[in-house]
Structure 1
């Protein structure tokens, strides 16, 4: 082979051969890269890349052949048939495109090799069509062994090139593919030219112009390189656009769309990096969990648009305060997290101080001002945790402790917090067991008319007597049930049990049942109430459902719509805890409540606080103007009862009138009987209706 190559090179202009080799190498490299891009796309993009690949490959193959032919010196005048020359270029482009499409089709495992073979045949067809366009004054003959060898070399090496280009097992495969394609083109040309024999027949007056042919060859090379440059530029531009698109997508994936802060995914990556830094340097990292205190209130009272604006303002503030080694991200909703490398307690204290100042600084929006506030929980790695998961969990524990302690906004993790969490988890598990084992009970507290002393009804109150721990306050286990989803099952059980028992009461007093906000979110409440009434036989007007205004604010439109459906059944709706939390006159205007329950906190201060007395008078006046009865909770003294009487309050409820008691005790007291049932049990500690009347007469006297 080397003898053949040396012989052929001897007959060529060495400089033009080098130009042809440069075009061949550049063209093959560009072809493999463009083909790889085509193989990795689909649809119209793949068709476009295949076209560019075919143009680059066909033009480089044709130019390599044409320049090498111009460099060839047969010893006789030469010329070219323009038509056949152009046809050879078209054959090269169309043929290699068919081969590339087949190689990237994935039809079979042999598709790359078969496609490469087609490319090799296209190179062969282009070469020998170009030779047919070659006009030389002499007798042409062919050495068939070399001709066949040139065809075999082109087909085999092209098949190898496409196989390597599609394999992509190693990063060097594309370079091996480029080399195989270069060899396919070069071996075809020089082996084919070895098969080419010319016996000159000089005709007087005929001659070639070597300088003109060389100039033409260089012009062709220049055009080929321009075409290749266009293909490579397309590749690079696409690469750049893909890189930019990838970076944009990465930024979108790692950033919070509302605030622009890093999101949870970015936070996890950063925290992993910081823990690696701790392992490498022996330093410490503080994780700060941040939860806004009044964000729900802002959202409910001002709307979600204002809530979003508050989050954006806080994000800008916290971004500006960050220093070296400090990081902050939004994890979702009103929850943020900050990370700070610790070089000393003083630097951490300074960072926490800056965070606290930015979170508690008032925000002016339109014509009102809000102070969001926040609870911050701090855990330090590796002091407080041995893993990332434990660190995050401990920061959350500290944050919830800060949220529960109104006296401080920042709380550091302490080992005892784990014990509290374990205790709550155990209690939640025991509550689930108590619900399944029917260990819960309902006590009833009387609701009485102040003017007549008559009993109007009873409020059903859930009670839990733990076998080992004894009585557990509802304020302890109800929030736990709401956190763990048990409140749905408990709420349905209370409603069904209270209605079933009340259906047999004589006299037919009302029964009041409290609703949890969770029930509004997760259940079809109107259907549940309708089903319970139908199953228990309780008259709808004897059921009164109590809910707080915060329950409505969670999803105002949906809640009011559901209340309207329940009221359409004939059920009474009472607004509980009025005067605290969310108390909006607009809510009273938007829905026709059947009762307003004045919160017990006002009654505890009414005899000593003029402000509490003024609020009670205002609520009672409001109820009268709207024609809505008002029930005062927490009546514990005769003085409180006398005040309500003088102010014209409709109903009262409290320890003075009757403590919550099991149904059997109320039956034993004679306040209730069960239709068709036996009356037995212990006495109940309560104030009877006639006692109220005696008290009122005594006070008036």
Structure 2
């Protein structure tokens, strides 16, 4: 070390030494700046940056060497061989480029450490080679002795220092690190040069030869280099060095300018990208090996942390514990497919997000960018959809779908434990009337209030479901008859209390039907059906109570319930039909019209008598659509008949209780094109007693349309003479029970005679029903009856037979006897 210091301080011009240090430092910093730029480039651009860095560094080393050689004062005249000098410059530049390219390639493939070591070895070797080739170019009158220990030391210190300089300043380094790297590289060049110069001793040769001999200090000849070309004197060399320094300065300035331009452009681009990322609704986070390097504002809001708190965090620490293993696995595998995870915010809130990752470069090194989309709204919407799929939207109670699942679970539990459970069916006793009076919004509020009270009456383990309208079902797991009865009483009790609707205290009430597993059924569907049947009986027996299913009693009721269901389907599917029974003029036997009679041929039950299904229709409310269908179908059929035959259609009292019946009749006549005087509507006596004023108004309105009116089954009900005077009837019909007794029953004969006399006095027409024998017809003719119908005169026939009858017996002629009546189908 003392020898090196002595060499620098005694044998060199200090001013030129300082210049050499400056030239070396500028060249090293310029080269590292170029190397840093190659991080963002690829292809030929990356190669160009590497080549430029090699040229700048090589020229810098060469200029440093020869400035130092100019500073060297051996007190002998010296010059330099041209080709060898140029060779030293080429070795320095090409060696530096090779070192940089090798380090870059290995760093990308094998890692920074291997690249740093290989690059340092090549760079140190090229610096040493350049030095000794430059020394070999020297010509002076003397012998140059080289100390092998110092020479070896000079060569040995170059690679490690070069490797450290590259490692510190060449890979994605910021300016402070590049300055440190330039310092280490400068120490590499200067340390190697001045250590090697300290190993040199020059012995003058008498006679003034300018061809030196290189010998080791022990006297062994290394090389004697005769001149092989032109020589450069020190003055010319100084000019060359100045030129090389100018080139270095120009390249450095150019590199600095390009660096500034690229830095500004990169800064602007980074600012633009950061602004875009900051404005994005999605969270964006950049991380490497699980450590967060950067994040946008949206991500910071997601986790509830400031930007400074997020940067440097382990990404897994911001993930909900349930998803940490999933995230660790994705980080290990470098997964890029979309996935859903949950973030854990600083306040403990869990946020579901959708993530997608992509590999990127960040600060010159591989990293990963992850985009996170907040899907909490979507999750809430999906949860809402799932809830609505299994719950009633009005009351929030389970719907039929979830009820079926709970019934299945209750059955499985009962089978597994050899236990039991109960199914309760209920509806609100006066819901329809309340809905009609207060309106549908009030009806909805009533359902909500009722659901709240029922929910309070059941256990958490019970299932309370709304299956439609005002119908509710409770599944009571583990319940026997006593527990089921206790719950049924509570259900009736909670709804027996008044409910405030529109400021009024409304009494609702409920009836409950109960079925037990396994006594009343071994599956949920059967238990529901039996509980519904028990509910039907509870309503028939007074409402506001509960009933258990009883096989003997409820079997018939269940059959009736099934008939209601089948009748509704028959109406919807068009399984009903109309048959037409001829009506004839008694004195002449002429065909004057037909009465429309409903017929139902069930696909399983076969023919169902009107005496069976019409009362069911009246009880369950199907009589209204049934009556409308019969009126429309009969009028449409009669309008196609090629004669003036009339059509008689029965009306139910229920139809009169509905507003708009006269308008319905008018609409049907208009749509079918049937003349009003060809339509005769038949009503029963019960209509006159139930609601006299409404019936009178409706019949008067229908009469004004030109439609004829007939009082059916006269004498069997409660009609009085006052009704016949008040109501605008055109005809009365004698019930078949009286006609049947004409031959053998004096009372029946007297009644028929009295009815005919009454009709004549009131100027009303008369039609006798149930005429089955010639004796019946003869007696009716003798008493002056105008019209008759019955099996003797013609059985009911389908519409397809009407044209045949009218063709054989046109209006005014006696019809033939046709067909056979279905069982029980006289009406």
Q: TM-score range by the shorter chain?
A: 0.3 to 0.5
Greater gyration radius? 2
Higher relative contact order (CA 8 A, sep 6+): 1
Q: TM-score, normalised by structure 1?
A: 0.48
